[in-house]
A = this chain, B = another copy of it.
């Protein structure tokens, strides 16, 4: 078995632990947490430790903490020349401490503690310094996911930015939809089928081919009508910037 230590106890750590539970070749031997309150949590079973000095020898140390804590944690590791990776979409591999072999193991998904996920559908993006480490990282990634990609730092930064658009920003548009519904005594559930179909359509067709609505057909009358009933300035500004962008795209065709 490939032995892994997870460092961190948040959403990503939680889901990685869960994913590796089903891996036939990986065993998570320890989970290092800063928060001793978690001691009573039984999620990580008997794997939890709370001190760097208790870290056991492993084939891979997976740092799953917030971006600004990675560097500090990497420098506190009390060993050298082992394989240490972080799980961030935005952080450089270089922020890991050079006393160990560095890599990135970035699972591209939105994680919430209370939602079950099909781990084999989550893309894992790998970066590494040494060819030997690539072999191990690829094995580990393929043991939980069908989609494993070699992505360098420049690409990963751009991918993370794309993810902000399709996940964070899309979710905010859903929230605006919800707000407009609730203000008008319309149940938000009425939009459920549309939200799901919009997502399914984009992944099966291309989003460009799937684009519909007043902006793409330059229906200025409807656009004006919408702007006139939007009384929230933030919503209006989003309406205008996206409409402008859709229309500029049409011109480019």
Given the complex, which residues of B lie within 8 Å of A206, measured CB to CB? 175, 178, 188
Residues 92-117 of chain A: 1 if any B CB is under 8 Å from the residue's CB, otherwise 0? 00000000000000001110100101
Give Cα distance in the complex from A131 to B168, angstroms: 44
Q: Which residue of B lies closest to A164 (CB)?
A: B213
- The reply on A158 being an interface residue by CB < 8 A is yes
Residue pair B194, A112 in contact (C-beta under 8 Å): no
Give Cα distance in the complex from A198 to B210, angstroms: 18
Residue pair A212, B242 in contact (C-beta under 8 Å): no
Number of identical protomers: 2
Q: Which residue of B lies closest to A68 (CB)?
A: B221
Query: Which range contains the number of A residues in contact with the other chain?
Result: 35 or more
Give Cα distance in the complex from A205 to B112, angstroms: 10
Given the complex, which residues of B lie within 8 Å of A170, measured CB to CB? 170, 173-174, 195, 198-199
Residue pair A242, B248 in contact (C-beta under 8 Å): no
- The reply on A29 being an interface residue by CB < 8 A is no
Stretch at the interface among A32-40, A48-56, A146-154: A146-154
- The reply on A197 being an interface residue by CB < 8 A is yes
Decide: A193 near B157, CB < 8 A? Known: A167-B212, A168-B213, A234-B241.
no
